[in-house]
Structure 1
């Protein structure tokens, strides 16, 4: 199973990310998001950023996760190449995500940007569980 694939879309970037577990799916979705911006082969993991999120359901949590990555890119002037995710289903049925994102500060001599992701959209955003987990998202570029 491939980690993600890009789909045809008129103006924005649409992708599907896959995983055997929801954690793997979320990690692959983050990799798909970032690959739309910069070649991950040009990124060294020199620093780590911790992420802690909570949401009422897995779909909302996935949206928050991807949006947080865009936020960190913008506010930390950093590019990312590794995405570790741990999930917890709470007693009250909410979901918690603990993540660690690895990367480095932007170096324009090495990081050539292909697209600028402005936002993750809710349009056609969905998670489906069949034989494996699948997240579909559209990125506003």
Structure 2
């Protein structure tokens, strides 16, 4: 089961995603990112976009994945409320394929903060003692 939360940070807000798998943790942190911007539970899956990124390590993979979603938000005005992720280990690192579904931002989504950029600040990706995965970072707001 994927879940997310926001956590207090000195200047901004941190986002953290949990999942039974690494993929679910990535999905949850993506939802946490959009929940900083809008009331994510009000986003309907009217349009879907495919995202594919390859990186040498998991931190770079998470950064590139969230950056792609943010670019779609900035260029097409989309907010996402459902994300499905597949991650595979490759010879050179990792490959992520995702399908993000949502709709164009409107007042019904109760806009909140604007996320300016994805950062590596306080980024962690780890398997927890209970077997779940956790992914977190502090985006630039």
TM over 0.5: yes
By percentage of residues, which structure has more strand? Answer: 1
Structure 2 unaligned residues grouped into runs of 5+: none
Q: State the Cα deviation string for residues 71-113 of structure 1 (Å, max 9, x = none).
A: 11001111111001011111x14100110000112223x2321
What is aligned with 2:72? 72
- Match of residue 112, structure 2, among 111, 114, 131: 114
In 2, the alpha carbon distance for the partners of 1:2 and 1:20 equals 7
Q: Deviations over 1:25-58 (max 9, x none)?
A: 0000001000011012321111100001100011
Q: Secondary structure at the match of 1:113?
A: coil
Q: Which runs of 5+ in 1 are unaligned?
A: none
Q: Secondary structure at the match of 2:115?
A: coil
Q: What residue is the counterpart of 1:48 in the other structure? A: 48
CA-CA distance at 1:61 after TM superposition? 0.4
| Separation in structure 2 between the aligned mates of residue 105 and residue 67 of structure 1, nearest angstrom | 18
By how many angstroms is 1:2 displaced? Answer: 6.5
What SS does the corresponding residue of 1:117 show, helix, strand or coil? coil
Q: Distance in 2 between matches of 1:129 and 1:42?
A: 30
TM-score, scaled to structure 1: 0.92
Aligned residues: 139
